[in-house]
């Protein structure tokens, strides 16, 4: 069965788990979210998106 999941949703779930187990503080989570938000509006966004997609494709190819 093949399904897709939004990267934002995936990272949001990971961040929620990290907060739940206190692996990151609320301040650190805020900084990470703001960094991602501002990074998405820069010229670097397409390169970051391409890199993340390439990593997910590589992981999907590993069986």
Report whether 7 contacts 52 (CB < 8 A): yes
| Model confidence band, residue 58 (pLDDT cutoffs 50, 70, 90) | very high
Least Cα distance to 39 among 52, 54, 55, 26 occurs for: 52
Please state the φ and ψ torsions of residue 62, each to the nearest 5 degrees: -85, 125
- For the cut 80, the answer to whether the pLDDT of residue 22 exceeds it is yes
Report the C-alpha gap between 16 and 26 in whole angstroms: 10
Least Cα distance to 36 among 58, 20, 14, 55 occurs for: 14
Please state the φ and ψ torsions of residue 9, each to the nearest 5 degrees: -65, -45
Instruction: Report pLDDT for 3.
Output: 61
Instruction: Report pLDDT for 54.
Output: 93
- For the cut 90, the answer to whether the pLDDT of residue 42 exceeds it is no
Answer with the residue of higher pLDDT: 9 or 59. 59
What's this model's pTM, rounded to 2 decimal places? 0.56
């Amino acid at each position: 069965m093949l399904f897709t999941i939004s990267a934002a949703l995936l990272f949001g779930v990971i961040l929620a788990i990290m907060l739940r187990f206190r692996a990151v503080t609320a301040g650190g989570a805020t900084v990470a979210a703001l960094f991602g938000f501002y990074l998405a509006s820069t010229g670097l966004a397409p390169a970051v998106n391409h890199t993340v997609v390439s990593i997910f494709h590589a992981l999907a190819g590993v069986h």
